Amino acid sequence: GACCSYRLRDALHPLWQSPLTIPGGTRQSPINIQWRDSVYDPFLKPLKISYDPTTCLHIWNNGYSFLVEFDDSADRSIIVGGPLENQYRLKQFHFHWGAVNDWGSEHTVDCKFYPAELHLVHWNAVEYPSFEEAVMEGNGLAVIGVFLKLGARHEGLQTLVDALPAVRHKDTVIEFDVFDPSCLLPSCPDYWTYAGSLTTPPLTESVTWIIKKRPIEVDEDQLEAFRTLLFSSHGEEERRMVDNFRPLQPLMDRTVRSSFR
């Protein structure tokens, strides 16, 4: 492959104790986005994002990452347009990061890792009755990926960072009642899009990925705060939550489209 061999892909990965690519998987994520191989699609619409900050519910550590979850019982925080046929409801967002700044993102661009990656997870409530059902359908989910790069302190992220000590251990949760995730999006509208999968079990091939071209900037202290979280529960031997990203998966018979020339 472009920047790594996939032989290892079929090996067991310590984090998930399950085959990295599901048998017969043809659209697994994450992937390397080779900029020059992406195809500009003039028919791609602008992505329209409207989040209601009061739909925010809580932050919790699920043992893979920390998640900020939203009330998705109505169409109050939604995305529409872009590559999507329907509107999708925001369910949660979370991050993936490295032990050091040299890696941490799940997707790469021209084989370059970013130190972290944000995923905003949405589901197709037009066609499916629940998130759990949408997870099993080819057009069930839409995940916006935003790269984080080392730079200026991000004031919007800081409110999340300040809450992290309260969710240090797996299965801890705190109430978090107002947060506007649009503050975590870059102002540039450009994105790549491709058909992929969840990057943690159940690894279902149900995700339309929308990867923003431009990263947001966060500072070293904010990345370090992510690294103070634990995979382990209270009372267990402490295991630092770092390197919670899945290895790159083969592109196979897929084209990455760009919304920009």
Ligand X SMILES: CC[C@H](C)CCC(=O)Nc1ccc(S(N)(=O)=O)cc1
Cβ atoms of 107 and 211 within 8 Å: the answer is yes
Interface with Zn ion, residue 119, by CB under 5 A = yes
225 binds, among ligand X, Zn ion, none (CB under 5 to 8 A by kind): none
Task: Give the nearest distance from C-beta 172 to ligand X in angstroms.
Answer: 18
Exposed e or buried b per residue across 76-90, where buried means at least 16 C-beta atoms within 10 angstroms of its C-beta: bbbbbebbbeebbbb
Q: Is the preceding peptide bond at 202 cis, omega within 30 degrees of 0?
A: yes
Question: Which of 22, 146, 159 is closest to 94 using CA atoms?
Answer: 146
132 binds, among Zn ion, ligand X, none (CB under 5 to 8 A by kind): ligand X
Interface with ligand X, residue 119, by CB under 6 A = yes
172 binds, among ligand X, Zn ion, none (CB under 5 to 8 A by kind): none
135 binds, among Zn ion, ligand X, none (CB under 5 to 8 A by kind): ligand X
Interface with ligand X, residue 132, by CB under 6 A = yes
Interface with ligand X, residue 135, by CB under 6 A = yes
Interface with ligand X, residue 198, by CB under 6 A = yes
Question: Rounded to whole angstroms, what are the CA distances from 107 to 11, 149, 246?
Answer: 19, 13, 9
Interface with Zn ion, residue 91, by CB under 5 A = no
Task: Give the nearest distance from C-beta 261 to Zn ion in angstroms.
Answer: 29
Residues 6+ apart with CB under 8 A from 17: none
Interface with ligand X, residue 121, by CB under 6 A = yes
Distance CA(115)–CA(103), nearest Å, equals 5
Interface with ligand X, residue 212, by CB under 6 A = no
Question: Rounded to whole angstroms, what are the CA distances from 27 to 91, 124, 193?
Answer: 22, 19, 13
Distance CA(246)–CA(232), nearest Å, equals 19
127 or 132: CB nearest ligand X: 132
Interface with Zn ion, residue 107, by CB under 5 A = no
Distance CA(142)–CA(198), nearest Å, equals 10
Interface with ligand X, residue 143, by CB under 6 A = yes
> Which one of 33-41, 199-207, 212-220, 232-240 is the stretch in contact with ligand X (CB under 6 A)?
199-207
* Site residues, Zn ion (CB under 5 A): 119
**Binding interface with ligand X (CB under 6 A):** 119, 121, 132, 135, 143, 198-200, 202
